[in-house]
Structure 1
């Protein structure tokens, strides 16, 4: 479907070159929208070390402050009045608000004041994160706030069916599914590097057990140690090496727990793709994902993924065919699934091939087109609402005007 060119504003506390799933998704969506002829404005915090420059029509930088315990992540802050002045001069047709912090709230209030259509995204499961940190009361308060926030937007886009069902149970409304894609040219088994594997101490027939992601408590990384130990015990004749790609507040703790593992730090672009392609088995123990982009990236790179049966894994992995799944929170089942993949060489080869074939069909262009449709529909609904309101206020022919 061809849609008219729109002026679209994306509001987010995180954006490339920051490394996380939200930033990656927004970078892909903004690039794709521009390629389809739309004008895209980005409203985000100034990133650490970023030089100040005069804002233009396509970029508004605001003040940000760091999140405690999360180096490199921050909240953004901008006054509603600044947004009102800007959008009165250069009015967007529609906003997409990706984060619900102070920046997103100011944007929502300004858009409602000006009658601009708003679509929101549920990218991060903050209530579950709070639960992981033992903040049960905060989790309940966050759920109330997020429900209030998203009810004030035309549509809330969620990345997985499991997330949609969870939010419906919590009273969220007007939810629409919009999955994620993967660049199967970038994330590709052909990037496998014998030199990189050699630097990990692995030969052609050895097994690299890979994990990629932010090293933080909500990612359930305590499971990496017992899972890798179980693999070593089950296959003592097989040379195995655990390789961890990423950074975060738990890195020092994990390095103490896993002294023989290789810690590669945060990687991006082609270097990240090379690290993926040098792996064989991918462990993804997280239970708090709204999607989990790394699952598709690992599959596209030809890895056999072990994950819990939810979010991206539930959507894209057929157990025993293109990966291995365990029931959520079943630690023993997760470990058994990992061990099963290494039982026979042919099993691992077949699963890796099937994973690559499936992921290679999950490109970004179709996701961008779906996103475009949601934004266009929100514009039409807003215009229809204004027209209805205008008609209801009009004086019908032959009727008398109200007095006073």
Structure 2
């Protein structure tokens, strides 16, 4: 029996070819759904200097530059534009991935038209407000995010730790949707000895790697302290830190790490080659909802050190597929790095185990799980149109 295809509208502030975990995940999910025969309509802001024209499955809205990321646009409220479009061509279900003005207007339009809405919790904005000196807003941001997600049929979260955190803050109808990795792209076979020579490394030297945004929410102040501790523990060992990515803290981090090599933003094969040519991946972030880079590093055959939350909690077994530290314990994080470096054979074993584990984390099963969640939400919407949470009227302002 043939299953009916769905018309899915995906609303997001960020999408490929932008380089970040949310854009990558949404690109994988939308491509996967199209491969299953569904129609996916993307609604997003037009980005700076973008020439792509809107069409049947792409709606571009106006946006504002995002502070600290001038190349990205924060979508403006577009409720009337969405109402006009969806009255002509009604989706079966919306997936709202970001909770800004564009996502808010999509939620309001969907409620007016009684279209099923599923949301995704992709970014811990309530933690960002504290990190950027706006701690007084943290409570309001948490209240808004809870209100927003509790007005949707379900909210998809990428990790068990994220689900527990949000449940404790009153978020309802949470379902899991994990992340995957392309283990053909991220592959130890891409290791380049020529690239390592360009990094100034010889046989037996070690390359430590960080990949991600260079911003306050990534806890990057721990990288200089970790490197100093490693040099103190192993004074005769030659190693180099590679930093892949860009962001508002790049200049500051370059001052803190004058001997590190900053590679900028990399994509596709170039990124995969840098992963595979390193040895140890260090990821000090404490704000991840998941952290795709953890799986990418494992698939590339690296020994990964991260805090025991999000992707690391799901995919690293300490001492077997990587090393984890107690969240927020800097000494424990540094000790985990030192543990990986003190025994070449242990590091080799961890890297092999990490690769083996990551090859079993493909995207196909995750896309099918996403499809199942969307169908389930559509079916539930036939029985009761909208979830109603006590005291959940729209926030003012």
Please state which band the TM-score falls in when normalised by the shorter chain: over 0.9
Q: Deviations over 1:154-179 (max 9, x none)?
A: 00000000000000000000000111
- 1:37 equivalent to 2:37? Answer yes
The match for 1:99 is 98
Secondary structure of the structure 1 residue equivalent to 2:72: strand
Q: How does 1:5-404 map onto structure 2 within 5 Å?
A: 5-51=5-51, 53=53, 55-385=54-384
Specify the structure having the higher radius of gyration (Cα): 1
How far apart are the structure 1 equivalents of 2:210 and 2:266?
12
**Is the Cα contact below 8 Å between 1:71 and 1:248 reproduced in 2?**
no
| Alignment coverage as a number of residue pairs | 385
Q: 1:212 to 1:52 in 2, by over 3 A?
A: closer
Query: Which stretches in structure 2 are left out of the alignment for 5+ residues?
Result: 386-397
Superposition deviation, residue 52 in structure 1: 5.6
- The answer (yes or no) to whether the contact 2:186–2:276 under 8 Å persists in 1 is yes
Report if the CA contact (8 A) 2:10-2:40 is conserved. yes
Q: TM-score normalized by structure 1?
A: 0.94
Tell me how far 1:149 sits from its aligned partner: 0.4
SS in 2 for 1:363: coil
Instruction: Report the secondary structure of 1:248's partner residue.
Output: coil
TM-score, structure 2 normalization? 0.95
Query: How far apart, CA to CA, are the structure 2 residues paired with 1:61 and 1:152?
Result: 25
Match of 2:395 in 1: none
Partner secondary structure for residue 66 of structure 1: strand
Alignment partners' CA distance in 1, 2:72 and 2:314: 28
Judge conservation of contact 1:308–1:326 (CA < 8 Å) in 2: yes
Please tell me whether the aligned partners of residues 122 and 289 of structure 2 are also in contact (alpha carbons under 8 angstroms): yes
The alpha-carbon deviation at position 346 of structure 1 amounts to 0.4
Q: Matches of 1:255 and 1:277 in 2, distance apart?
A: 23
Instruction: Describe the shift of the 1:234–1:169 C-alpha distance in structure 2 as closer, same or farther (beyond 3 A).
Output: same
Structure 1 residues 212 and 2: CA distance shift in structure 2, 3 A: farther
The separation in 2 between residues aligned to 1:323 and 1:130, in whole angstroms, is: 31
Contact 1:3 1:376 in 2 (8 A): no
Q: Check the 8 A contact 1:57/1:90 in 2, yes or no.
A: no
1:132 CA drift (Å):
1.4
Offset at 1:249? 0.3
When the two chains are superposed, the root-mean-square deviation of aligned CA atoms in Å is 1.1
Write out per-residue CA displacement over residues 286-333 of structure 1, whole angstroms, 9 at most, x where no aligned residue. Answer: 000000000000000000011000000001000111111110110000
Structure 1 gap segments, 5+ residues each: 387-404
